[in-house]
Structure 1
Amino acid sequence: MAINLTAYHQILGELAPYKARLVAVSKTKPVEDVEALYEAGQRIFGENYVQELVDKEAVLPHDIEWHFIGHLQSNKVKYIAPFVKMIHAVDSLKLLTEIHKQAQKNNRVIDCLLQLHIAAEETKFGLDETELYDLLDTWQQEQTQFSGVRIAGLMAMATNTTDETQIRKEFHQLHSIFDTVKNKYFSAQDYFKERSVGMSADYTLALQEGSTMVRIGSMLFGERNYNK
């Protein structure tokens, strides 16, 4: 068994005071590893690749809550729409519209997180503040056209750096924007509550800055094998 149960229980203990949830990132890991963590009690798993997610969902227990956490192409939404619980990285109106379309075909409502770009690296995906508010303005004006999606919060990735001051500043920025968005667009909706930030290297800082959901892979499953 390749999973680290000691780390798993340690992380759960750290999340508990914040009432935050763990998304176990199982990309590139075999079904057996997912099963082992499932047997330990984990139910939320995150995948980055559509085909891998489809293959795992077909053979693993059906009470797993699957989250898609990678960059998602609009033309691949249809493959995961029948079962995915949450899509973390919605970074365009086009993608949100396609998720709605495919959700309706499956008589579902899919939870989505809007991805905000907070990192210094230009290579990371996500909306800037102007794009975020433009998207939300359109959504607000045309809500009946988005009945297949539920915007449940925001997500982001911090800069890949050891500078904790910078990371904390970026997380704080996301939570500040979250509060603004909540007050302006979702004041009457209790489902807009998720702030999905924090990974293996920075999740403790993310929790301190208000994260409700952390995405952790390598601490649980070991280093990923991209040459499988």
Structure 2
Amino acid sequence: MSIRENLNYIQKTIPSTVTLVAVSKTKPVADLQEAYDAGIRDFGENKIQEMCDKYEALPKDIRWHMIGHVQTNKVKYMAPFVHLIHGVDSLKLLKEINKQAEKNSRVINVLLQIFIADEETKFGLDAKELDAILSTEIQQLHNVKVVGLMGMATFTDDENQVREEFKSLKQLFNLHQPHHQDLQIISMGMSGDYQMAIEEGSTMVRIGSSIFGHRNYNI
């Protein structure tokens, strides 16, 4: 099936209240243009240089999402245009985003990444760190806005485990949202589990291979 056909199928399974981020990492500009022509405006990349190159080549109304683990020394390259940074997992990174946003006279939206998986390879804040950032640290940072939480479930065939991990993120969101009105987004769910994630409260899903096909990591 074509990219357009894949998108038509996926969009029928996603409520209008849920944002679809097309994960376009490693994919050529032509594939992104095809998705753009089919109506997609939110694209997710995990390498800043690749995202910068695509930003230059593609229409400027695209909303660029940085979905990969971010190194602080690379923030400055995307600060002029990035729409949403998904994986903010430390106060150090948050401060650097604030610094670079201020230099560009912007307020950059971010999601705080919460560690919900039973895997040491995953990144994220724990509940105590999240509370510290939301209750005190964020007050000093005027050029970043924490607009939601995100988490990545364990890579496992155990659907009950994945569902429980999604539930834990939703519970944390529910705990903090009444006191932090900017919190609007729960980003969880990818190609293999996005429908379950939506059932558990996700408002943003990141889908790549189901749209663009499997990636070629050799390029």
Q: TM-score range by the shorter chain?
A: over 0.9
For residues 212 and 139 of structure 1, the distance between their equivalents in structure 2, rounded to whole angstroms, comes to 25
**Residue 23 of structure 1 is aligned with which of 14, 21, 24?**
21
Q: Does 1:58 align with 2:49?
A: no
* Letter in structure 1 aligned against 2:70: L
1:5-84 paired onto structure 2 within 5 Å? 5-16=4-15, 19-84=17-82
Partners of 2:25 and 2:46 within 8 A in 1: yes
* Letter in structure 1 aligned against 2:15: A
3-state DSSP of counterpart to 1:15: coil
Partners of 2:67 and 2:86 within 8 A in 1: yes
Shift of 1:135: 2.1
* Letter in structure 2 aligned against 1:149: V
3-state DSSP of counterpart to 2:60: coil
For residues 212 and 11 of structure 1, the distance between their equivalents in structure 2, rounded to whole angstroms, comes to 15
Q: Does 1:149 align with 2:148?
A: no
For residues 52 and 4 of structure 1, the distance between their equivalents in structure 2, rounded to whole angstroms, comes to 20
Shift of 1:146: 1.0
In structure 2, the residue matched to 1:192 is 183
Name the count of aligned residue pairs: 219
- Residue ranges of structure 1 left out of the alignment (5+ in a row): none
* Letter in structure 2 aligned against 1:216: I
Partners of 1:88 and 1:115 within 8 A in 2: yes
**Residue 224 of structure 1 is aligned with which of 209, 215, 219?**
215
Superposed CA offset, 1:175-227 (max 9, x none): 000011112x31xx2x3110000000000000000100000000011111111
Shift of 1:3: 4.6
- Residue ranges of structure 2 left out of the alignment (5+ in a row): none
* Letter in structure 2 aligned against 1:21: T
In structure 2, the residue matched to 1:130 is 128
For residues 43 and 122 of structure 1, the distance between their equivalents in structure 2, rounded to whole angstroms, comes to 33
1:96-135 paired onto structure 2 within 5 Å? 96-135=94-133
For residues 147 and 131 of structure 1, the distance between their equivalents in structure 2, rounded to whole angstroms, comes to 19
Per the normalisation by structure 2, the TM-score is 0.97
Q: Does 1:205 align with 2:196?
A: yes
Superposed CA offset, 1:96-151 (max 9, x none): 111011011111111100000000001101111122112223325xx2x3111110
Per the normalisation by structure 1, the TM-score is 0.93
For residues 200 and 107 of structure 1, the distance between their equivalents in structure 2, rounded to whole angstroms, comes to 35
Shift of 1:25: 0.2
- Relative CO higher for 1 or 2, CA cutoff 8 Å, sep ≥ 6? 1
3-state DSSP of counterpart to 1:178: helix
Q: Does 1:178 align with 2:173?
A: yes
Partners of 1:3 and 1:36 within 8 A in 2: no
For residues 95 and 55 of structure 1, the distance between their equivalents in structure 2, rounded to whole angstroms, comes to 23
For residues 161 and 4 of structure 2, the distance between their equivalents in structure 1, rounded to whole angstroms, comes to 31
* Letter in structure 2 aligned against 1:214: V
Q: Percent identity?
A: 55
For residues 2 and 88 of structure 2, the distance between their equivalents in structure 1, rounded to whole angstroms, comes to 30
Shift of 1:52: 0.3
3-state DSSP of counterpart to 2:170: helix
